[in-house]
């Protein structure tokens, strides 16, 4: 029997705070089970430090395979190092924080590190000089979805992500405030509980600059309700200041919805290219809302741009991988560790 222990943040089951990381953990766990693995999940509060992580790791049988979400390893270098000798620990690194001495300790102690993008793997390798044979990339998968044709005017904009400084919704408001001469509406999907002060300030600013009737803040949505948002959207807008991948990008492309996004982190990797090498969206710099506004104005005013980007989004849609591919990569890492363990003993 193939058994793995998956240690995840307790926010995995918090409907108020859905995130790309929690979706990733859930879908990989489900796909591993479908592939014949026995997965034991352990939920740990992400804000209580290394003691709670130790409480989970200490009782596990020597030689157990354990995958730990990287959110829980922050500040827990001592705990990881203490158990790395008797457990086969794999760190699932969604968002590196380094260069950081404690993160270095965690990653050097782990039997393997799984990242969600090549960009993250390259950053970790350059930051800590880790052996690349211990670094593995398991990009997020995506579900097959019906292709959305879009409206002729392309006026329905969608922004998906936790309302927080890193996701840049305030930058989106600044950009949209300069486009009030055009016809558009925008739905902002994401939790306002993670950074409540920022969320309140951003929503208030949107009202002050006259966008109250055009912006709809839906709160967090998942499942069919989130799918419905993608299906009704003409364009995904991702104004993030930091992204290690950008799962919402591939989710939009799965619906054949083009993307305007910040050229940051692993976003270009998620956006990808069509089979003939074209980009299914527009990438802009992160420093100036004017660049975002310019890209949105091009989309809203140029039918030719909309036609080209929609065609490219449909073509890119055919190249996306599912969650079974993600889980196969993770399972391959775990199998490699099991094989190495068997040879060593």
**Do you find a cis peptide bond into 99, omega within 30 degrees of 0?**
yes
Measured from the Cβ of residue 144, the count of other Cβ atoms closer than 10 Å reads 8
Q: What is the reported pLDDT for 50?
A: 60
- Topology alike, domains 3-141+322-344 and 156-317: yes
Q: Which CATH architecture has domain 156-317?
A: 3-Layer(aba) Sandwich (3.40)
Q: Are 217 and 43 in contact (CB under 8 A)?
A: no
Task: Using DSSP, state whether 16 is helix, strand or coil.
Answer: coil
Q: Look-up: residue for tokens 């790395």?
A: 84
What does the chain come to in residues?
345
For residues 332 and 4, give the distance between their C-alpha atoms in angstroms, rounded to a whole number: 13
Q: What's residue 45's pLDDT? A: 75
**Other Cβ atoms within 10 Å of 146 Cβ, number:** 11
Alpha carbons within 13 angstroms on the beta-carbon side of residue 106 total 29
- Separation of alpha carbons 212 and 151, rounded Å: 23
Tell me how far apart the alpha carbons of residues 214 and 95 are, in angstroms, rounded to a whole number.
33
Sorted by where each begins, the domain ranges of the chain are 3-141+322-344, 156-317
User: What pLDDT was estimated at residue 320?
Assistant: 97
Please say whether the beta carbons of 68 and 90 come within 8 A.
Answer: yes
* Alpha carbons 309 and 319: distance in angstroms, whole number: 16
Alpha-carbon span 46 to 143, nearest angstrom = 28
Q: What is the Cα–Cα distance from 96 to 22, expressed in whole angstroms?
A: 16
- 283: nearest Cα among 292, 275, 202: 292
Judge whether 124 and 100 are in contact, CB under 8 Å: no
**Residue 282: strand, helix, or coil:** strand
Which one of 3.10.105.10, 3.40.50.2000, 3.30.479.10, 1.10.510.10 gives the CATH number of domain 3-141+322-344? 3.40.50.2000
66 near 87, Cβ under 8 Å?
yes
Tokens of 269: 């990797």
Residue with tokens 């930051």: 127
pLDDT along the chain (345 residues), means of 10: 87 62 90 93 72 87 94 88 92 88 94 96 93 94 92 97 95 97 97 94 96 94 94 97 95 98 96 96 89 97 98 97 95 86 51
Distance CA 139, CA 73 (A): 20
Q: What angle do CA 191, 193, 196 make, to 5 degrees?
A: 115
Q: Which region, left, alpha or beta, applies to residue 265 given φ > 0 means left and ψ of -120 to 50 means alpha?
A: left
- Residue bearing tokens 């457990």: 87
pLDDT at 345: 47
């Amino acid at each position: 029997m193939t058994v793995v222990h998956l240690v995840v943040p307790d926010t995995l089951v918090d409907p108020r705070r859905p995130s790309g990381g929690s979706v990733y953990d859930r879908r990989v766990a489900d796909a591993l089970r479908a592939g014949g693995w026995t997965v034991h999940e352990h939920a740990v509060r992400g804000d209580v430090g290394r003691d709670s992580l130790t409480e989970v790791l200490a009782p596990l049988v020597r030689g157990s395979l354990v995958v730990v979400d990287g959110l829980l390893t922050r500040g827990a270098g001592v705990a990881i190092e203490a158990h790395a000798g008797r457990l086969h620990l794999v760190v699932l690194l969604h968002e590196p924080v380094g260069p950081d001495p404690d993160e270095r300790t965690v990653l050097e102690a782990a039997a393997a590190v799984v990242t969600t993008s090549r960009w993250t793997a390259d950053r970790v390798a350059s930051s800590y000089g880790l052996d690349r044979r211990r670094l593995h990339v398991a990009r997020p998968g995506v579900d097959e979805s019906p292709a959305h044709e879009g409206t002729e005017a392309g006026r329905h904009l969608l922004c998906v992500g936790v309302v927080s400084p890193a996701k840049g919704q305030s930058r989106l408001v600044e950009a949209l405030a300069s486009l009030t001469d055009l016809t558009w509406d925008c739905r902002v999907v994401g939790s306002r509980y993670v950074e409540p002060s920022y969320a309140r300030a951003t929503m208030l600013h949107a009202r002050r600059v006259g966008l109250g009737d055009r912006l709809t803040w839906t709160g967090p949505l998942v499942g069919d309700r989130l799918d419905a948002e993608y299906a009704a959207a003409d364009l995904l807008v991702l104004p993030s200041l930091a992204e290690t991948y950008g799962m919402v990008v591939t989710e939009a492309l799965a619906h054949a919805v083009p993307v305007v996004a910040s050229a940051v982190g692993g976003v270009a990797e998620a956006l990808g290219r069509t089979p003939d090498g074209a980009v299914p969206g527009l990438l802009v710099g992160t420093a100036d809302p004017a660049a975002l506004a310019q890209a949105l104005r091009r989309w809203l005013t140029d039918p030719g741009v909309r036609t080209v980007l929609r065609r490219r989004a449909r073509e890119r849609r055919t190249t996306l991988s599912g969650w079974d591919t993600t889980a196969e990569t993770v399972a391959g890492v775990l199998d490699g560790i099991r094989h190495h363990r068997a040879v060593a003993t």
